[in-house]
Structure 1
C-alpha cells in the first residue's frame, strides 16, 4: 500500500465537516483487505448531527489493544488556492490538498504501516467525520460504541499534526480545557435625557467584565501554561445617539489547565455576573476539560520510534488547542503525534512526501514496540 496514493485518494474525497460517504469508502476499502472488520454508523440529529463514524478492528491473538484515532472531516478550503483544494497535486516534494496534514496524511500513514506488518494483538481505528465541527456525535459516540462492546484500548495514539518545525519534534501528552460563556444582561430602554425612566444594562455588564478580566486563575503547572480568560465579544447593538439600550451581551473564552474543571469555571463566572447584574442570564459550554497523560510507556514508545528513525527525541508538550484526545483520555492513556502543522487550515495546505514515508515508518515501529 502506497501512503502517497492513499493520502491522495482521501484528499480527493471532499469531506468538509461533517464528513460522510465517499471518504469513508476510501478508508474502508484500504482496511478490509488487510484484515480489519469495519463498522460504520451515523449518530445524532440536527443541529450537531447527523455524523458518520468508522470503527475498524483487527484481532490477532493475545496481546495489548492499541488504538489509532483521527478524523476525516476537514475545514472549508476558502478561496485562493493555487489548484483545487480537493484535487491532490504533487509539486516538487509536496503533496497539496485540503486535509493533507490535518489529518488525512496521518490516517493514510497508519493504515500503510499496518499493511506491511504481521497482525498481532488487537488494533483499532477510531475515525470520526466530525472533529472540526461541534464534535458532539463523533468520537464521543465512538467511545460509547466501544464501551458497549467492551472494546477498550490499552493505549491510544491520535494522529493530529503535532510537529512544529520538523517532523517528530513534538508529542502532545495533554491539552488545556476550553469553555465559552455567553452573558446576557437585560435592562430597560429609554431616552438618555430621562435616565430615571430607563435601566442601563451596560454599566453592570462592564463592572462584571472588569472583575472577570482581573482574575488570575493560576501561574501554570509543570506541564501547562497559565490558564487564561479572554473577553472575545461585547455587544450592545445600539445605533441611536439618544437611547439607553435595553440589553447588553458579552462572550468570554477560557482555556484552562488541569487545576480546573470547565463546569466549576462557568459557575464562578456566573456568581460574579450575578453580583453585578442579578437578572443576567449566563450560559456556558465546556468543549473539553484539560487532561494530562503523565510521561511513561506511551510517550516512551513514540519517542523511541522517532529517535530510531530521525535521530532525535521529541519534546513532550501540552500546548495548542483542543482535540478529540480530550474524550479518549477518559478511557485510556492517550498521546498525539503526527505531521508538521505549519499549513493546516491554510490555503495550499501541503505535506512533505518524505514526511509521509517517515511517519509511516515511525508508526510501524511504534506498533512493533507495543506488540513486542
Structure 2
C-alpha cells in the first residue's frame, strides 16, 4: 500500500462508505484494518455494529492517554456532481472526491500517524461509523470503552482547517405531529388550521430559543427541516401538520424536554392537539477552556481558536461528556465550505499542514 498522503487519500476516496441499503463502511474498515497492521506495536480491536459494519480501535498500550478519532462514513453523493465522486482527481493543490474534506483527508493523516515509528506510547486511534447519520458508532464505542480507558487528551481531525477548535454547539432534533380542526375554507373560523397555527408556534419557538446563549457559542438557533400537512383539497382547512425541529444548542441549560414542553404548551394556546413528539437527538454542547490548550496552541500553525458559533455538532462532545471532560480539540483538515457539496475537494496543502502539526504533537519530541 502506498504511504504518500495524496495516494493514501485517493485510495480511501475510491472506497464508497456512505450508508444506504447497498453500501456502508464495511469495505473501508477492511482497508483501514489492513493498513494499520503495518505498525506491529498496535493492538487492533473490531467492535461489531451489525450488517458488516464495525468500529476499529487500535492502541500501542493498554493505557490510553491520547485518543485520536475519525469517522469512516461520508454522506451520499448528491445530484450536482460533475465528476465521478469515487474517482479521485488531483488538479493543482486540490484533490477532488467524495469525502475528501469530510473527512477522509483527516483519516489519511491519522493513518500516517498510527503507522509512524516515532509514535509516542499510550496512544490510541478510533475509526468509527455513522457520524453523518445517527452517531451509532460513537454511541457503541462509549458503551464499551467508557470504563476501559481514560484518555487525558482527545483529538478529532474532522472539520475545516487548518486550525484548533475547542467547542461545538449541541444538537436537538424532534418530529412534531399536531392536529387542528377541519372546516370549510370559505369560513376560516369554522376550523383550526394546523399548518398556519404551527407557523405561529414555530416563530414563538425561534424567539424563545434566542434566550439560550453563551459568549463562546452565540445563540441557540432553529431550523425547520421539513413541514407537511393538510389534504389535497384546497377547500378544506388543514386538520394536520407534521414538522421536524432541529435546534443548535448554545447553552447546556437547554435540552429536548424543555423544547418539547414549549411546543406542547404553545400548541395548546393555538388550539392544536399534539398527537406525538418523537425525539431523535438530545445532545449538549462542549467547550474546552482556552487556558487548557495553551501548549497545543503554541505548536499550532494558527494561534487563534476557531469559532463554534456557526459550526455543526461534533460527536466528540459525547467523548467529552463520557470521559469526564478531558482536554479535547479539533484540528480540521477539510477545505472551507466543501463538506457535503458536489465536486467536493480538499487542499493538499491542508493535509500536509495537518500531518506536520500532528506528527509534532504525537512524536517522541512532541507535547503530549
**Taking structure 1 as the reference length, what is the TM-score of the superposition?**
0.84
1: CA distance between counterparts of 2:94 and 2:168? 29
Partner residue in 1 for 2:318: 327
Question: 1:115-154 residue pairs with structure 2 within 5 A?
Answer: 115-135=115-135, 137-148=136-147, 150-154=148-152
Residue 179 (structure 1) aligned with residue 172 (structure 2): yes
Residue 314 (structure 1) aligned with residue 296 (structure 2): no
Deviations 1:161-207 (A, max 9, x none): 232xxxx3x32211111212333222343444677875554564344
User: Compared with structure 1, are the counterparts of its residues 189 and 85 closer, same or farther at alpha carbon in structure 2 (3 Å cutoff)?
Assistant: same
Question: 1:1-372 residue pairs with structure 2 within 5 A?
Answer: 1-17=3-19, 19-34=24-39, 35-43=41-49, 51-59=53-61, 65-135=65-135, 137-148=136-147, 150-163=148-161, 168=162, 170-192=163-185, 200-202=193-195, 204-215=197-208, 217-218=210-211, 220-263=213-256, 264-277=258-271, 279-281=273-275, 282-297=277-292, 299-307=293-301, 312-319=302-309, 320-330=311-321, 331=323, 332-342=326-336, 343-368=338-363
CA contact (8 A) 2:85 2:343 kept: yes
- Match of 1:33, SS? coil
RMSD (CA atoms): 2.8
2: CA distance between counterparts of 1:139 and 1:111? 19
User: Compared with structure 1, are the counterparts of its residues 26 and 301 closer, same or farther at alpha carbon in structure 2 (3 Å cutoff)?
Assistant: farther
Deviations 1:228-280 (A, max 9, x none): 23444443333323223332233332212134332233333333323434631
* Gapped regions of structure 2 (runs ≥ 5): none
User: Compared with structure 1, are the counterparts of its residues 80 and 198 closer, same or farther at alpha carbon in structure 2 (3 Å cutoff)?
Assistant: closer
1: CA distance between counterparts of 2:103 and 2:48? 21
CA contact (8 A) 1:40 1:55 kept: yes
Deviations 1:327-350 (A, max 9, x none): 111113321112133322222222
CA contact (8 A) 2:185 2:236 kept: yes
2: CA distance between counterparts of 1:159 and 1:216? 30
CA contact (8 A) 2:131 2:137 kept: yes
2: CA distance between counterparts of 1:203 and 1:221? 32
1: CA distance between counterparts of 2:129 and 2:34? 17
- Match of 1:43, SS? strand
User: Compared with structure 1, are the counterparts of its residues 24 and 276 closer, same or farther at alpha carbon in structure 2 (3 Å cutoff)?
Assistant: same
**Taking structure 2 as the reference length, what is the TM-score of the superposition?**
0.85
Total equivalences in the alignment: 354
User: Compared with structure 1, are the counterparts of its residues 210 and 356 closer, same or farther at alpha carbon in structure 2 (3 Å cutoff)?
Assistant: closer
